[in-house]
């Protein structure tokens, strides 16, 4: 072997070692000697060379390679977390699978990328778990593609351009709408386009999988200050993407999980405690929150406003008649 080839072999070895450690892998000295086909003294020299390099490129970064004194594995300390670890890959996969938001082919494509990435990072242990979960994935009834319209509509929002929609409503009526798109939201399995119609003061929500066709127009638009859309504020007050009228409600709650209620209604505050019950106040949109309240069986009582309490009572009486 020529001196040049020996030098190149060393460079390649150092690069490989650096990439492994920077990616979060850990090795004993013996493991590195076997993998690199070198002796343990050379391993130690290579680690020294890499630490000198790390010190030279940024003396204040705090990044260095050490031999962990507890289990004697070499590891890089202070490295930038640029790669996904096994927990992060698993979280992303679980969110995708549990949301049921994507058509199966789109989901398969993303999951396969996550699986391949996990294998490259030496995290094969989660591969079988993810693939098993994917096998049991159930699509929604409407299995239209989601990703392409999401990207295109997001570009229309960024460019402040109007969009022509052909949309099928819940009653299967097909309508044409010219809208000013302002945001995309996700809730309860579905992506929604939030948009204004001409002269409307309240945004309207269109389920993206119900959009049969769309055209991004050349015509632009602007929004007045009063129509400025605060997605975070809407999300805290809305249930099931049914807006209704914005109102402040007061509830008596004695269910098994107060934490779950407070998570479900982010604007909720405890205003009083009555024995085992809590009095809760929250600012919400009426139609969606009514649907959620009815799902809570006999653990919640609406106290205020009185007209909403009466509306809840009438609905419950109508439900009772179905079973009487």
Dump pLDDT digits (tens) for 31-50: 999 988 899 999 999 999 99
CATH numeric code, 234-323: 3.30.70
Give tens-digit pLDDT for 257-302.
999 999 888 899 999 999 999 999 999 877 788 888 998 989 999 9
Q: Which residue has the higher pLDDT, 247 or 216?
A: 216
The verdict on domain 147-228 having CATH code 3.40.50.2300 is: no
Checking if the pLDDT of 4 tops 70, the result is no
Residue of higher predicted confidence among 168 and 78:
168
CATH assignment of 3-77, among 3.40.718.10, 1.20.200.10, 1.10.10.10, 1.10.150.120: 1.10.10.10
Q: How confident is the model at residue 269, as a pLDDT? A: 94
pLDDT greater than 70 at residue 304:
yes
Residue 88 pLDDT level (bands cut at 50, 70, 90): confident
Q: Say how far residue 101 (Cα) sits from the centre of its chain.
A: 11
Output the pLDDT for position 134: 83
Q: What is the pLDDT of residue 211?
A: 96
The answer to whether 147-228 and 234-323 have equal CATH topology is no
- Measure Cα distances from 138 to 99, 133, 135, 204 in Å: 10, 10, 9, 29
Q: Largest Cα–Cα distance of the chain, in whole Å?
A: 93
Q: Tell me, what's the pLDDT at 175? A: 96
**Locate tokens 């490989």: which residue?**
16
* pLDDT (0 to 100) of residue 3: 47
Would you tell me how many other CB atoms lie within 10 Å of the CB of residue 243? Answer: 18
Q: How many CB atoms lie within 10 A of CB 301?
A: 16
Domain boundary assignment for the chain: 3-77, 86-135, 147-228, 234-323
Q: How far apart are CA 61 and CA 79, in angstroms?
A: 9
pTM, two decimals, is: 0.67
- The whole-number pLDDT of residue 311 equals 94
- Residue 230, pLDDT score: 62
Which tokens is 60 given? 């204040």
Mean pLDDT to the nearest integer, 63-70 = 91
Q: Residues 173, 168, 101, 117: what is their CA dihedral angle, to the nearest 10 degrees?
A: 160
Is residue 29 pLDDT above 50, yes or no?
yes
The beta-carbon contacts of 81-88 under 8 Å, at least 24 apart in sequence, are 82/22, 83/23, 83/24, 83/121, 84/117, 84/118, 84/121, 85/24, 85/121, 85/123, 86/118, 86/121, 86/123, 86/125, 86/126
List phi, psi (to 5°) of 162.
Answer: -70, 155
pLDDT at residue 65 is higher than 80: yes
Residue from 179, 153, 165 nearest 211 by CA: 165
Position 234 scores a pLDDT of: 67
The residue-averaged pLDDT of 69-96 equals 81
- Least confident piece of the model among 79-88, 117-126, 184-193, 199-208: 117-126
pLDDT digits (tens, 9 = 90+) for 160-189: 999 999 999 989 999 999 999 988 988 888
């Amino acid at each position: 072997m020529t001196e040049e080839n020996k030098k190149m072999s060393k460079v390649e070895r150092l690069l490989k070692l650096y990439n492994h450690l920077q990616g979060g892998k850990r090795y004993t000295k013996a493991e590195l000697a076997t993998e690199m086909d070198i002796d343990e003294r050379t391993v130690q020299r290579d680690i020294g060379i890499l630490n000198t390099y790390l010190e030279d490129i940024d003396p204040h970064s705090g990044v260095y390679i050490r031999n962990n004194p507890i289990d004697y594995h070499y590891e890089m300390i202070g490295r930038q977390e640029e790669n996904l670890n096994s927990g992060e890959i698993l979280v992303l996969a679980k969110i995708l699978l549990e949301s049921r938001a994507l058509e199966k082919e789109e989901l398969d494509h993303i999951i396969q990328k996550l699986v391949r990435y996990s294998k490259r990072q030496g995290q094969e242990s989660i591969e079988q778990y993810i693939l098993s979960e994917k096998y049991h994935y159930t699509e929604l009834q409407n299995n239209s593609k989601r990703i392409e319209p999401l990207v295109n509509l997001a570009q229309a929002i960024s460019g402040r351009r109007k969009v022509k929609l052909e949309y099928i409503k819940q009653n299967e009526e097909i309508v044409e709408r010219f809208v000013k798109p302002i945001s995309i939201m996700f809730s309860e399995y579905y992506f929604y386009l939030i948009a204004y119609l001409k002269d409307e003061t309240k945004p309207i929500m269109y389920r993206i999988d119900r959009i049969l066709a769309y055209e991004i127009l050349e015509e632009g638009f602007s929004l007045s200050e009063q129509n400025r859309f605060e997605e975070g504020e809407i999300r805290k007050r809305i249930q099931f993407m049914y807006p209704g009228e914005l109102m402040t409600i007061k509830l008596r709650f004695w269910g098994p999980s107060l934490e779950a209620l407070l998570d479900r209604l982010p604007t909720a505050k405890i205003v009083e405690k009555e024995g085992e019950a809590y009095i809760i106040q929250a600012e919400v949109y009426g139609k969606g929150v009514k649907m959620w309240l009815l799902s809570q069986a006999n653990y919640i009582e609406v106290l205020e406003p009185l007209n909403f309490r009466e509306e809840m009572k009438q609905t419950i009486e109508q439900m009772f008649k179905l079973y009487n």
